[in-house]
Chain A
Amino acid sequence: MDPDPGVMIPVRIGRALCLRGLPVMTILRIAAAGLSLLLAAGCSTPAPPRAEAGLPACSPPSGSVKMTPTTIDVVERAYFCILGESQADGRELLTVAFAALVRKLVQDGRDLPGAVMPALTGDRVADWAAFETRFRVIADRLPVLRDGLAALMLVAMVGAVRHARWERPPEVPPDHHDGDGYGLGLRTSAPPSPLFVTAVDGGPARAAGLRPGDVIESADGELAPVYPDAHPVRLRLLRPGTGRRWSVTLTPGVYPRDPAALRVVRSESRGGVAYVRVSGFPPDAANRALRAISRLRAGRVLTGVVLDLRGNGDGSSTEAVRLLSAFVHEKVTAHGCTADGRCQGVWTDDTVPLLGLPLVVLVDHGCAAACEHFAAAVKDLRAGTLVGARTAGAIPGPARRFDLGNGTTLSLPHRHHLGPGGEVVDGIGVPPDRHVPPTARDAAAGRDRALEAALTLLRP
């Protein structure tokens, strides 16, 4: 009877593990409905047999969340999965994998006379057998490195396939609390330089006194580390307002964040304009945004809607399309195309009532994936005005996930995205209609010029 989050088990069930065998939205809705058993059943639905005869079949994630070491068998699964599901060349995959292996041997001063790439014939199965045999000979000489070597090869192999991702269950720091962040506690502007701090969320950055607008002249490490990466990062900073130059060393760690700022949908009335920030497109995001607008509209006249999609980098394009459909009907919002060029239009959801309000959308370099589907459609369909900076150019299209047998999954896109006009957005991004990029000076002053421009466009 209890949909209570009062008991939380820190494992990811749902989105991360099961996206095949049922339409994505169906699964997400089931997950949202709390039926873990049904979810597991959905996950075990066999994938359509796409692998070549004789090759091991590629299976969807099993729901196991315990991660075990990455062995050569895991690499084998990934190899056959990639070959069965994409146009990749097996010889190329094996070559990049072997190259990564050799780099590691040389780097560690453990090079071996037998570390020679085997001859490949183009027969995927025979080539794998030759490769695996050679790997085992090498790895047997270096037992301490064995699993690490396999993981390195897998990373290289996946890196050679556009938009493929190797996903591991997230590791949770022991002192983690709900909503905590991990890392340096800061966000920055888009590269290239000069990089500057756009927001200080807490943690080491706040403790060191960093402020928005501080220019990062150099950094000797990862500015957005992922747990368990805890390497200290030395930053050289300039505060333009005072001319002060100094250096700090920040060590990644867990830090609390403001829960209110983490809410995916936030809204407020800005002088007759509904300002709605949507920071991702999880299930129900569109309805939440639309309900927020109708609450703001109750009892007063609105002159327009500002949708703030800056930093909106994940979620479902179904939600993006649904939200867009409150502003435009009977249009194709994007095309999903297979490798052989067959495309399907993604239409607006005309069951969503039109709001009949002018729309301005705020975008930036953090707007990726479903957000770019939205942005490209708004621009092409003239459903509103884009304000801000060019989007990320990272829209791989819908992906399928496959079980690699050790609690990790391989994600491979099966269609690529084109905008409504047939244009490629991935790697390119969507340029705003009005270019109002963030600047260090505005960040320091707490000024949001893009929002100001949006409100000016919508006020009567």
Chain B
Amino acid sequence: MRRLLAAALLTAVAASACSAPEPPRSAAPSAAPARPVTLPVPAGGPIGSTVLHLTDASRPDPWDESLPARELKVTLWYPTKPGDGPRAPYMSVKEAELLLTGTGMAPESSQALSQTRTHAVRDADPAGRGLPLVVLSPGFTKPMSTLTSLAEDLAARGYVVAGIDHTHESYATTLADGRVVGCLACESSNDPGFRAGLVRGRAADVSFVLDRLTTAYPHLIDRERIAMAGQSIGGAAAVAAMVADPRIRAGIDMDGTTYARIPDGGLSRPFLFLGTPQHAPGGLDHSWDRDWRKLTGWRRWLVVDRAEHQTFTDVPLVAGVIGLESLPGMLPAARGAELTRAYVAAFLDLHLRGRPQPLLDGPSPRHPEVRFAAQ
């Protein structure tokens, strides 16, 4: 089954009316099953990855009224010492299958998608002390795995990365007991206030994860240097989390319409809007224009030409595996990943490490796709 990556774009535009998965756009006969791909090689040193299951007993699950506590799956990526070991899995076959079928795609490529090659050594010991921490939050219905390329790159550059699977907000989340739960939140995704409630819930997830990680890894993590980035509603969650939790010193929203209310006094910590041309100033979505005025600290609004909503995720990288065709004229997948990694890392290096970043001062001849829409 072949589908156009363009569907992602169309859905994004129609999303106000339509949040449930769209069925396949075409049903041409499938080609031979594609072989698994390898994610782009990260920029720096060796990395490890491990999975934590954390339970917040202080609040019920926001989506399943029968659960008195909120259980979260957190994937950590971090620098490690050189050494060999089995690579961390990308996602399980079951997760891949639920993601594909949930999205309205054929499950045949589940195996190949789950075998996407990563670069992190599974459960390797972390190396380093006092490292800055970056929280990542994925798009609605997406498992955290869809931001693995970015997570691995940041870890290789010396960050601890904590990617959160927000339970019941993804088509597939594996819990501590091995059960794989689906997208209960999808049931109410057309309700008024759904998005505002969802980002508020994610902000609570993030604060809880920060509490736990800074306690569990007091030497590895520098609790004074924490940032958050997310794609789509995960980016909207970054705004919500920064409003709610002053520990987060800087944030990045990758193409997510924003829903949290920034207080009248504004948000003075650094923030980066990194969007597709859909999210240019004065566009159809007014949320970035609305919030831009309330960003009172260091801020940039970058628009990546020829990017689409998933450019900032792994989806274009695995598109061939799962039978997605990219739209003519869109950025090649590898270039999208490269730009995402470069600008996210530059922002974090500037604000968590105090390293000057000419890349963020203005247009760069080596990155002609990136426009400085406002600053």
Which B residues are in CB contact (< 8 Å) with A292? 65
Complex contact A6–B261 (CB within 8 A): no
Q: How far is the CA of A295 from the CA of B10 in the complex (A)?
A: 34
Query: Which stretch (B13-21, B153-161, B360-368) binds chain A?
Result: B13-21
Q: How many Å from the CB of B208 to the closest CB on chain A? A: 18
- Is B109 part of the contact surface with A, judged by Cβ < 8 Å? no
Contact of A33 among B15, B22, B142 (CB under 8 A): B22
A31 and chain B: residue at smallest CB distance = B17
Which residues of A in the span 156-191 have a Cβ within 8 Å of any Cβ on B? 174-175, 177-179
Which A residues are in CB contact (< 8 Å) with B287? 8
Query: Which stretch (A127-135, A255-263, A352-360, A382-390) binds chain B?
Result: A255-263
Which A residues are in CB contact (< 8 Å) with B14? 9, 13, 34-36, 39
- Is B38 part of the contact surface with A, judged by Cβ < 8 Å? no
Which residues of B in the span 187-227 have a Cβ within 8 Å of any Cβ on A? 187-198, 200
Q: How many Å from the CB of A267 to the closest CB on chain B? A: 6
Which A residues are in CB contact (< 8 Å) with B116? none
Which B residues are in CB contact (< 8 Å) with A295? 64-66
Q: How far is the CA of A66 from the CA of B255 in the complex (A)?
A: 25
Q: How far is the CA of A439 from the CA of B311 in the complex (A)?
A: 56
Which residues of A in the span 28-87 have a Cβ within 8 Å of any Cβ on B? 31-37, 39
Contact of A179 among B3, B141, B193, B285 (CB under 8 A): B193
Show 17 A/B contacts (Cβ-Cβ < 8 Å), sorted by A.
A3-B15, A3-B141, A4-B12, A6-B233, A7-B279, A7-B309, A8-B15, A8-B287, A9-B15, A34-B15, A34-B20, A177-B196, A177-B259, A258-B193, A262-B193, A263-B197, A295-B65
Q: How many Å from the CB of A401 to the closest CB on chain B? A: 16
Complex contact A178–B192 (CB within 8 A): yes
Complex contact A2–B13 (CB within 8 A): no
- Is B284 part of the contact surface with A, judged by Cβ < 8 Å? yes
Report, as a range, how many residues of chain B touch the other chain. 35 or more
- Is B50 part of the contact surface with A, judged by Cβ < 8 Å? no
Complex contact B139–A6 (CB within 8 A): yes
Complex contact B17–A291 (CB within 8 A): no
Complex contact B232–A7 (CB within 8 A): yes
Which residues of B in the span 290-336 have a Cβ within 8 Å of any Cβ on A? 290, 309-310, 315, 324
Which A residues are in CB contact (< 8 Å) with B21? 3, 33-34
Which A residues are in CB contact (< 8 Å) with B191? 262-264, 282
Type the 1/0 row for B134-150, where 1 means its CB is closer than 8 Å to any CB of A.
Answer: 00000111100000000
Q: How far is the CA of A429 from the CA of B287 in the complex (A)?
A: 42
Which B residues are in CB contact (< 8 Å) with A31? 17-18
Which B residues are in CB contact (< 8 Å) with A10? 16, 284-286
Contact of B7 among A1, A175, A298 (CB under 8 A): A1
Q: How far is the CA of A33 from the CA of B104 in the complex (A)?
A: 10
Type the 1/0 row for A358-377, where 1 means its CB is closer than 8 Å to any CB of B.
Answer: 00000000000000000000
Which B residues are in CB contact (< 8 Å) with A260? 62, 197
Are A5 and B195 CB-contacts (below 8 A) given A12-B17, A13-B16, A32-B18?
yes
Ranked nearest first, the 10 interchain pairs of A and B with the lowest CB-CB distance are A179-B193, A6-B232, A259-B197, A34-B22, A36-B14, A34-B18, A262-B193, A259-B193, A13-B17, A7-B12
Are A34 and B65 CB-contacts (below 8 A) given A8-B287, A174-B286, A179-B196?
no
Q: How far is the CA of A1 from the CA of B284 in the complex (A)?
A: 21
Which A residues are in CB contact (< 8 Å) with B194? 5, 178-179, 259, 262-263
Which B residues are in CB contact (< 8 Å) with A263? 188, 191, 193-194, 197
Which B residues are in CB contact (< 8 Å) with A15? 17
Report, as a range, how many residues of chain A touch the other chain. 35 or more
Q: How far is the CA of A12 from the CA of B21 in the complex (A)?
A: 18
Which A residues are in CB contact (< 8 Å) with B231? 6
Complex contact A175–B324 (CB within 8 A): no
Which residues of A in the span 228-281 have a Cβ within 8 Å of any Cβ on B? 256-260, 262-268
Q: How far is the CA of A267 from the CA of B64 in the complex (A)?
A: 10
Complex contact B192–A262 (CB within 8 A): yes
Complex contact B15–A5 (CB within 8 A): yes
Complex contact A7–B17 (CB within 8 A): no
Q: How far is the CA of A32 from the CA of B23 in the complex (A)?
A: 10
Complex contact A1–B5 (CB within 8 A): yes
- Is A313 part of the contact surface with B, judged by Cβ < 8 Å? no
Q: How many Å from the CB of A23 to the closest CB on chain B? A: 18
Question: Which secondary structure dominates where chain A touches chain B?
Answer: loop
- Is B235 part of the contact surface with A, judged by Cβ < 8 Å? yes
The residue among A1, A265, A267, A282 with the most chain B CB atoms within 10 A of its own CB is A1
Type the 1/0 row for B246-280, where 1 means its CB is closer than 8 Å to any CB of A.
Answer: 00000000011101110000000000000000110
Extra contacts besides A7-B285, A32-B18, A175-B290 (20): CB < 8 Å: A2-B139, A4-B139, A4-B232, A5-B15, A5-B16, A6-B232, A6-B256, A9-B15, A14-B18, A32-B20, A34-B14, A34-B19, A34-B21, A35-B14, A39-B17, A178-B196, A262-B191, A264-B191, A282-B191, A295-B64
Which residues of B in the span 70-85 have a Cβ within 8 Å of any Cβ on A? none
- Is B236 part of the contact surface with A, judged by Cβ < 8 Å? yes
Complex contact A9–B16 (CB within 8 A): yes
Complex contact B17–A14 (CB within 8 A): yes
Complex contact A6–B236 (CB within 8 A): yes
Which B residues are in CB contact (< 8 Å) with A178? 192-196, 259
Complex contact B193–A36 (CB within 8 A): no
Complex contact B17–A257 (CB within 8 A): no
A262 and chain B: residue at smallest CB distance = B193
Contact of B22 among A35, A179, A258 (CB under 8 A): A35
- Is A450 part of the contact surface with B, judged by Cβ < 8 Å? no
Type the 1/0 row for B232-250, where 1 means its CB is closer than 8 Å to any CB of A.
Answer: 1111100000000000000
- Is A331 part of the contact surface with B, judged by Cβ < 8 Å? no
The residue among A9, A12, A268 with the most chain B CB atoms within 10 A of its own CB is A9
B64 and chain A: residue at smallest CB distance = A295
Contact of B13 among A9, A296, A298 (CB under 8 A): A9
Complex contact A288–B17 (CB within 8 A): no
Q: How many Å from the CB of B198 to the closest CB on chain A? A: 8
- Is A380 part of the contact surface with B, judged by Cβ < 8 Å? no
Which B residues are in CB contact (< 8 Å) with A145? none
- Is A217 part of the contact surface with B, judged by Cβ < 8 Å? no
- Is A126 part of the contact surface with B, judged by Cβ < 8 Å? no
- Is B105 part of the contact surface with A, judged by Cβ < 8 Å? yes
- Is A11 part of the contact surface with B, judged by Cβ < 8 Å? yes
Complex contact B257–A8 (CB within 8 A): yes
- Is A284 part of the contact surface with B, judged by Cβ < 8 Å? yes
- Is B55 part of the contact surface with A, judged by Cβ < 8 Å? no
Q: How many Å from the CB of B5 to the closest CB on chain A? A: 7
Complex contact B17–A4 (CB within 8 A): no
Which B residues are in CB contact (< 8 Å) with A34? 11, 14-15, 17-22
Which B residues are in CB contact (< 8 Å) with A1? 3, 5, 7-8, 11, 103, 105, 310, 315, 324
Complex contact B142–A4 (CB within 8 A): yes
Complex contact A6–B188 (CB within 8 A): no
B316 and chain A: residue at smallest CB distance = A1
Q: How far is the CA of A183 from the CA of B213 in the complex (A)?
A: 43
A177 and chain B: residue at smallest CB distance = B261
Which A residues are in CB contact (< 8 Å) with B187? 265, 284, 288, 291
Q: How far is the CA of A424 from the CA of B260 in the complex (A)?
A: 46
Q: How many Å from the CB of B186 to the closest CB on chain A? A: 8
